[in-house]
Amino acid sequence: MTENGQSTSVFVLSTVVRNPNILAPLRRSAAIAPLDVAIDALVRDGDAIALEGFTHLIPFAAAHEIIRQGRRDLTLVRMTPDVIYDQLIGMGCARRLVFSWGGNPGVGSLHRFRDAVERGWPEPLELEEHSHAGMANRYAAGASGLPFAVLRGYAGSDLTSQTDSIRTIVCPFTSESLAAVSALNPDVAVIHAQQADTRGNVQLWGISGVQKEAVLAARRALVTVEELVERLQPRPGAVVLPAWAIDYVSVVPDGAHPSYAHGYSERDNEFYVAWDAISRDRETFRQWMEANVLGV
Amino acid sequence: MSSGSDADWTAEEMMTVAAARALHDGAVCFVGIGLPSTAANLARRVHAPGLVLVYESGTLGAKPAFLPLSIGDGILAESADAVVGVVETFNYWLQPGRIDIGFLAGAQLDRFANINTTVIGDSYDAPRVRLPGAGGAPEIAASCREVLIVMRQSPRAFVERIDFVTSVGYGKGGDDRERHGFIGAGPTTVITDVGILEPDPETRELVLTHLHPGTTLADAQAATGWELVASPALEHTPPPTALELSTLRKLEWTKAGRSTAGVS
């Protein structure tokens, strides 16, 4: 296990109180802890976990820690599986994938994802497949404490016959036929942000994706951050998540690489291009993971 | 589909230029990565300076100085009029019909412009090829005022029957699209490396309306898995202008991630 060394003092260990009648967990405050401690405390075998970030702020370091801790049978939830889930899938951590677009953006296929679906390597992968609009609305319903969301979507698409979490409902006011999608309430959400303050309040900015919804929909949440600051400077358009909506904060500079943190780093586009060759072959992939993730 | 073999531009460049020309100044355009992003940025530089680019990462009115590799590169957020969350992008901006033009592509297309981006093969559970999936496409196809499809034309891609309907064009043809209650008009133009196809106003079957310079009707038919019909008013696409070509090449040269693009 790595010691990040940035912040080893655990201020408050929050207790997650789970009452089946209360959708939102009672969180008192975020604990600031090293990444390995936070992942160990939050992620269990068999959990449904959402590591979100729409191209920007993808929490790669947290995924690598999950791989190092050897979690298995995970349901991976994410709009765009991206290289981060290609790695988790290829390392045999996943049993099921809930997603809407599984490619390497601007480059091509996710080879580990394809190998799992097409050939069952290293494990067969069950799919629960949506569109972006459907996934975004499922998170919003989960964050809102509603059982489903409604949208104009999926009409005429064969997705409706493959995915149980898509149904058709009739509007009680206009009698229009609309799509209903069931809420997503992952066991754990993990996101990356630019800053947290010493009390565990988090601020992120730039392309903000569905991270706010994912954190508020999940039963437990971890935020990795570029840096800890004494006081957050309010920024126009930023997403602020108060400490009491989060369980753990871990300081992990460059924890989104090869994704990026606006204002701190640039997207490593050359790595995304290089991933195509690294991931195409099972052995090359394993060797890369040994050298760059497991051995770190 | 060897167009322009003796010209000083490639079929791919002709396709991108034709796609850019389909974008009129002032339109609000929902842009996917790859050729649509290239075409939209080309249009903004050549003939449509007021084109509004919306990327599904939530960057509204992005004006990137160079081509991004992904829909979420930092250059898009830095140059945007507004950056909004993904829920807002789809629910507030796309769903009510605020976007004029949506760009789509796919692995397979049928004669009624339905698109498959999900699986190749007879079985969803055991596909021959697992494709990336839907992304924003089903709702873009439903809710943009019109849809442009840009795809390389081949018998493997332009097929009699697609293996999976991810996004609906004209369904089974005729007025089948209307049955779904979509806000948008559907695919109005299909731009390929051979020519341009448009739906017949009655049957909604795609017919060939333009051939790019250097291609023939026989080329287009050989590249199509159904019996492709040509419009009686079949025209030739004007070749790329010097300005279009030089601007396009400069854009491609500055594309993010380009320096190692040969790795795969």
Rounded to a whole number, what is the largest CA-CA distance in chain B? 49
Nearest residue to A244 (alpha-carbon basis) of A291, A294, A202, A277: A202
Cross-chain residue pair A55–B90, CB shorter than 8 Å: no
Q: CA A110, A120, A54: angle at the middle one, nearest 5?
A: 30
pLDDT at A15: 44
Alpha-carbon distance B135 to nearest alpha carbon in chain A (angstroms): 5
Encoded amino acid at B4, one letter: G
CA distance B167 to B187: 11
Chain A touched by B95 (CB under 8 Å): yes
pLDDT at A19: 41
CA distance A34 to A125: 31
Q: Residue B150 burial by CB count (10 A; 0-12/13-18/19+): exposed, middle or buried?
A: buried
Contact residues, chain A, for B89 at CB < 8 Å? 136
Contact A158 B133 (CB under 8 A): no
What residue in A sits closest to B73 (Cα-Cα)? A267
Angle between helices A60-68 and A35-42 (to 10 degrees): 70
Asked if B56 and A132 come within 8 Å (Cβ–Cβ), the reply is: yes
Residues of A in contact with B187 (CB under 8 A): none
Residue B164 CB coordination number (10 Å): 25
Question: Distance from B130 to chain A by nearest Cα, in Å?
Answer: 6
Q: How far apart are CA A121 and CA A118, in angstroms?
A: 8
Q: Which of B128, B138, B263 sits opposite A131 (nearest CB)?
A: B138
Instruction: Compute the distance between CA of residue A183 and CA of residue A149 in angstroms, rounded to an integer.
Output: 7
- Quick check: B68 and A270 CB within 8 A? no
CB A115 within 8 A of CB A90: yes
Distance from CA of A62 to the nearest CA of B (A): 20
- How far is it, in rounded angstroms, from Cα B144 to Cα B66? 26
Q: In angstroms, rounded to a whole number, what is the distance separating the alpha carbons of residues A247 and A254?
A: 21
Q: Please name the residue of chain B whose CA is at the shortest distance from the CA of residue A130.
A: B134
Q: Does B166 touch chain A (CB under 8 A)?
A: yes
Longest CA–CA span in chain A (Å) reads: 59
Active-site residue, B56 included:
yes
**List of chain B residues with pLDDT < 70:** 1-6, 257-264
Chain B residues in contact with A215 by the CB 8 A cut-off are none
Q: What is the pLDDT of residues A265-294, one digit of tens each?
A: 999 999 999 999 999 999 999 999 999 999
Q: Which amino acid is at A264?
A: Y
Average pLDDT along chain A, 296 residues, taken 10 residues at a time: 41 43 62 97 98 97 98 98 98 98 95 98 98 98 97 96 97 96 98 97 97 97 98 93 96 98 96 98 98 94
Selection from A223, A213, A159 nearest residue A186 by Cα: A213
- Considering the four listed CATH numbers 3.40.50.300, 3.40.1080.10, 3.30.365.10, 3.40.50.850, the one that applies to the domain covering A31-287 is 3.40.1080.10
Report the residue from B72, B165, B260 with minimal CB separation from A56.
B72
CA B67/CA A36 separation, integer angstroms: 38
User: For residue B105, what is the DSSP state?
Assistant: -
**Strand residues in chain B grouped as ranges (E):** 28-31, 52-55, 59-60, 82-83, 101-104, 108-109, 115-116, 119-120, 129-130, 146-150, 187-191, 195-199, 206-211, 229-236
Q: Tell me if A133 and B129 make a contact (CB, 8 A cut-off).
A: no
Pairwise CA distance, residues A52 & B34, whole Å: 23
- Could you tell me where the DSSP H helices lie in A104-249? 111-119, 132-144, 159-162, 211-217
Give B138 to chain A, closest Cα distance, Å. Answer: 6
The nearest CA of chain B is from the CA of A280 a distance in Å of 9
Check CB contact under 8 Å for B261 and A273. Answer: yes
Per residue in B225-235, pLDDT tens? 999 999 999 99
The per-residue pLDDT for A29 is: 82
CA separation for the pair B9, A250 (Å, rounded): 52
- What secondary structure letter does DSSP report for A8? -
Amino acid A288: pLDDT: 98
Domain ranges of chain A: 31-287
From A105, which residue of chain B is nearest by alpha-carbon distance? Answer: B70
Determine the Cα–Cα distance for residues B107 and B212; give it in Å rounded to an integer: 22
How far is CA A211 from each of CA A63, A241, B37, rounded to the nearest angstrom?
16, 10, 25
Q: Which of B12, B13, B56, B88 is catalytic?
A: B56
Report yes or no: A212 and A143 within 8 Å, Cβ to Cβ.
yes
Element (H, E) at B16: helix B11-21
Write down all domains in chain B, each with its CATH number in brackets.
Answer: 11-260 (3.40.1080.10)
Q: Closest to B33 (Cβ–Cβ): which among A105, A156, A176?
A: A105
pTM: 0.92
Query: Could you give the 3-state DSSP secondary structure of residue A222?
Result: strand
Cα–Cα distance list, B247 to B136, B241, B251 (Å) = 29, 10, 6
A-to-B residue pairs, Cβ atoms closer than 8 angstroms: 195
CA distances from A108 to A98, A272, B132, B264 (A): 20, 10, 9, 10
Q: Which residues face A197 on adjacent strands?
A: A229
All residues of chain B having their beta carbon less than 8 Å from the beta carbon of residue A210 are 85-87
